[in-house]
Amino acid sequence: MEKIVNVHNISEFNAANNHKTLHPLVTVIDYSKANPRDWGDVESIKFQYGLYSIILKDVVCGDIRYGRHYYDYQAGTLVFYAPGQFISIENPKIVYQPMGFGLLFHPDLLIGTHLGKVISHYKFFDYQTHEALHLSDDERKMILDILAKIEFELQQPIDKHSKKLIASHIELFLDYCQRFYDRQFITREVAHKGILEKFEALLNIYFASDKPHILGLPSVAYFADELNLSANYFGDLIKKETGQSAKEFIMNKLIETAKNKVYEGEKTVNEIAYELGFKYPQHFSRLFKEKVGVSPSEYKYLN
């Protein structure tokens, strides 16, 4: 049996967690004030998000799953949800007291703010598996300090400054989360070890198979899925490791493979284009010349 919980309205969410609504579009939650959770005999709970939600939970309430993957989640980590996402918790405890903190805000809060223009830059809202943010004690203190500042502003009478100040504090909060994720890419090197090597191996296998002919040009999403990572987290990880985006890395491998095939001289340019996953040979020739400086035919002649 699955229970569905909609997280679309700040006032309703506050009421469900014993909090007064201080602003209709944003709230800071102290989960210790909420009633103990009793989900009965349900096997899983599906949360449907219409709000941006950032949760720092200090109690594990079950296995958090996004799509078909599980979060690298434990007590004391931050997880991020965006509007339109569906999160499942499997094997929920029958009764438990929620602990920790939450920051939730409606997309409408961002209209007309600088944060509204840059919210898509915070890719961790789309991270999926093995990708929760693990905080050090000092980082946790910083996060809680900013939450306290947001809560302080929420307690003031709403005026013409409220929206800008609240949005600015949230943006600062997200900027620190981005910094902490950059640190995590380094400190969790053991967990990430081998991903680049596996990526390169998968690229070689892809081009050595008939996948380009069947699936087309290789995509970042394809390899992220093969490695059980979200496309955004995978892309950020490859960027940190190589200095190139995952798309650039794939493109460089594509051109390297194309150069080898052209050099071997056993197949026509059209045949090579189709083998690499191009629908139209002229697109391949144009890209090859753009990246190599000469056309495939000229490259073959020069070599």
For the chain, percent helix, then strand, then coil, each to nearest 5? Answer: 50, 15, 30
- What is the C-alpha to C-alpha distance for residues 93 and 91, in angstroms, rounded to an integer? 6
Task: For 54-99, write each residue's pLDDT tens digit.
Answer: 999 775 555 454 444 444 445 568 888 888 887 777 666 667 778 8
Per-residue pLDDT, 239: 83
Per-residue pLDDT, 98: 81
CA–chain centroid gap for 274, Å, is 32
Q: Is the pLDDT of residue 201 over 80?
A: yes
Predicted confidence band of residue 25 (pLDDT cuts 50, 70, 90): very high
**What Å distances lie between residue 1 and 38, 60, 62, 68, 92, CA to CA?**
15, 21, 15, 18, 12
Per-residue pLDDT, 66: 45
**Whole-prediction pTM:** 0.62
Per-residue pLDDT, 67: 47
Counting Cα atoms < 13 Å in the Cβ hemisphere of 150 gives: 28
Cite the DSSP H helix spans in the chain: 10-16, 114-118, 137-154, 162-187, 189-192, 195-208, 211-215, 220-226, 231-242, 246-264, 269-276, 281-292, 296-302
